[in-house]
Amino acid sequence: MDKKEVFKQYMSENEILIVDKNPVSRNRLLKTVYDLGVSSSLIHSTGKLSEAEDFIKNKNIGIVLSDYFIAGGSGFDLFNKLREKNPNSKKLCFILVTSNISQAAVAKAAEEDVDSFIIKPYTIQSLQESLITTIYQKIKPSPYLVKIEEGKELMLSGNVDQAMDVFKEATGLNAKPALAHYYIGQIETLIKNLEQAENSYAEGLNFNSIHYKCMVGLFELFMRKERYNDAYKIVKKISKFFPANPDRLAQVVRLAVMTNNFEDIPNYYELFLALDERAPKLVNYIGSGMFVAGKYFLMNQRREDGLKCFEGAAVSTAGNGKFLRGIVESLVDFDLVDEAEKYLNRFISGERETPDYLVADFLVNSKRQQDPNYVVKLGLDLYNRQIKEFSSMKKLISAMEESGYGQDKVLPFKSELSQLYPDKAA
Which residues are within 8 A (CB) of 294 and not within 5 positions of it... i.e. 6 or more apart? 305, 306, 307, 308, 309, 310, 312, 313, 327, 330
Strand partners, 64: 17, 94
pLDDT score recorded for residue 425? 57
DSSP 17: E
Report how far residue 265's alpha carbon sits from residue 257's, in angstroms, rounded to the nearest whole number.
8
Q: What is each CA distance from 205 to 80, 181, 209, 261, in whole angstroms? A: 22, 9, 4, 24
Quick: pLDDT tens for 229-238. 999 999 999 9
pLDDT score recorded for residue 9? 85
Report how far residue 236's alpha carbon sits from residue 77's, in angstroms, rounded to the nearest whole number.
18
Nearest to 97 by CA among 125, 131, 72, 53: 131
413-422, long-range: CB < 8 A, 24+ apart: 413/383, 416/388, 417/390, 417/393, 420/388, 420/390, 420/393, 421/390
Indicate if 143-240 has the same CATH topology as 3-139.
no
Nearest to 254 by CA among 279, 217, 287: 287
Nearest to 49 by CA among 25, 87, 79, 91: 79
Q: 261, 228 in Cβ contact below 8 A?
A: no
The CATH number that domain 3-139 falls under is 3.40.50.2300
Longest dimension (CA), the chain: 97
Q: Supply the angle between the helices 321-333 and 355-368 in degrees, to the nearest 10.
A: 20
Q: Where are the domains of the chain?
A: 3-139, 143-240, 244-318, 369-426
Report how far residue 269's alpha carbon sits from residue 253's, in angstroms, rounded to the nearest whole number.
9
pLDDT score recorded for residue 336? 96
The CATH number that domain 244-318 falls under is 1.25.40
Burial 129-139 (b: 16+ CB within 10 A, else e): ebbbebbbbbb
Nearest to 42 by CA among 75, 9, 67: 9
Full-model pTM: 0.83
- Find the Cα–Cα–Cα–Cα dihedral 230, 236, 237, 239, rounded to 10°: 150
pLDDT score recorded for residue 38? 86
Low-confidence ranges of the chain (pLDDT < 50): none
pLDDT score recorded for residue 12? 82
Nearest to 275 by CA among 264, 261, 285: 285
Report how far residue 21's alpha carbon sits from residue 70's, in angstroms, rounded to the nearest whole number.
6
pLDDT score recorded for residue 214? 96
Nearest to 231 by CA among 259, 206, 207: 259
Q: Would you say domain 143-240 falls under CATH 1.10.510.10?
A: no
